């Protein structure tokens, strides 16, 4: 018995030493130096306005996330086995809505510099009556049901992130009026609704405004899947928002710190990404968005 006890003690000590050694190696992970590009574009960062009643930061006291905290955190990184972003349309989309989905696909591929694919639409019929309700005269779908009972089953093996897009409104729980979207960062799946982005009806007149909202929301939610927290210091696409008006005020641009975080994860060519974004915004007549990219490009070569 003594020999067995000693053997167990030795194994325990050996395992403890290995765990301690592993922990030391993890905590001693070297933080990369800030590159010249990120230093240059800091001058384009705009300090976030002092939050007022109704703003996200007025009611959510968040601590934020430094680059060092992000770099040391556990978050997904693209691999050969999982490196594709997928969009899963849910419902029946009209021609203008389908165009927005396609443009979102193009944008996410540029934004994250990763292959992005749109899957064939899923019918709303897969969502049972128990996960639906009528609210102020329009139908809503339970966002959590879509995450747990629909998207998990649809996630392709090579997916690094899967974003569901619905044409019906969403709600997260009975006591809430609605939600723009919901995500499971552990499972790397999310769902967003275009219902509230289109001001009751999507038309050629409001098309660009609605598209901008969709691009901001989808890149924001997938950014969370890559481990980015809400940005609380700078006007940035990673700002939390409580309303469409707050979403409209927030920039589509990642601030210098959040760009550095994403680049440390995906390791894309910063200049190529900027030029691709600039061309996308120009082609789709998104003028404010074009100007924000142009400012970073101008500083890139200085």
Is the Cβ–Cβ distance between 109 and 272 less than 8 Å? no
Give the span between the Cα atoms of 86 and 109, in whole angstroms: 10
Ranges of beta strands (E only) in the chain are: 84-90, 116-118, 132-135, 138-142, 159-166, 169-171, 181-184, 189-193
Give the span between the Cα atoms of 266 and 38, in whole angstroms: 15
Q: What CA–CA distances, in Å, run from 129 to 141, 142, 245?
A: 9, 10, 32
Catalytic residues: 221
Backbone angles phi, psi at 262, to 5 degrees: -65, -40
Is the Cβ–Cβ distance between 71 and 32 less than 8 Å? yes
Tokens of 163: 């974003």
Is the Cβ–Cβ distance between 143 and 155 less than 8 Å? no
Is the Cβ–Cβ distance between 131 and 172 less than 8 Å? no
Q: What CA–CA distances, in Å, run from 205 to 201, 271, 287?
A: 10, 32, 15
Backbone angles phi, psi at 191, to 5 degrees: -140, 135
Give the span between the Cα atoms of 59 and 241, in whole angstroms: 11
Residue closest to 177 by CA, chosen among 243, 241, 92: 243
Paired residues of 123 in beta bridges: none
Bridge-based pairing state of the strands 138-142 and 169-171: parallel
Backbone angles phi, psi at 194, to 5 degrees: -90, -5
């Amino acid at each position: 018995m003594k020999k067995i006890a000693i053997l167990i003690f030795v194994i325990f000590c050996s395992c403890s030493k290995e765990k301690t050694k592993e922990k030391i190696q993890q905590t001693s992970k070297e933080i990369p130096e800030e590159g010249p590009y990120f230093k240059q574009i800091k001058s384009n960062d705009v300090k976030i306005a002092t939050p007022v009643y109704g703003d996200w930061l007025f009611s959510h006291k968040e601590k934020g996330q430094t680059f060092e905290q992000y770099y040391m955190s556990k978050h997904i990184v693209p691999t050969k086995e999982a490196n594709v972003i997928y969009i899963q349309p849910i419902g029946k989309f009209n021609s203008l809505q389908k165009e927005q989905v396609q443009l979102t696909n193009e944008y996410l591929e540029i934004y994250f510099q990763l292959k992005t694919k749109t899957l064939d639409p899923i019918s709303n019929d897969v969502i049972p009556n128990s996960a639906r309700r009528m609210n102020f005269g329009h139908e809503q779908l339970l966002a959590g049901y879509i995450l747990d009972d629909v998207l998990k089953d649809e996630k392709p093996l090579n997916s690094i992130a899967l974003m569901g897009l619905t044409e019906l409104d969403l709600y997260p729980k009975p006591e809430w009026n609605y939600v723009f979207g919901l995500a499971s960062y552990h499972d790397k799946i999310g769902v967003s609704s275009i219902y509230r982005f289109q001001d009751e009806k999507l038309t050629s007149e409001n098309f660009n405004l609605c598209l901008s909202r969709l691009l901001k929301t989808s890149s924001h939610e997938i950014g969370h899947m890559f481990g980015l927290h809400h940005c609380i210091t700078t006007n940035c696409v990673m700002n939390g928002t409580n309303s469409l008006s707050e979403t409209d005020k927030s920039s589509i641009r990642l601030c210098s710190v959040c760009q550095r975080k994403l680049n440390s994860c995906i390791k894309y060519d910063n200049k190529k990404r900027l030029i691709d974004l600039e061309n996308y915004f120009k082609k789709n007549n998104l003028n404010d968005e074009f100007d924000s990219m142009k400012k970073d490009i101008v500083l890139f070569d200085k």
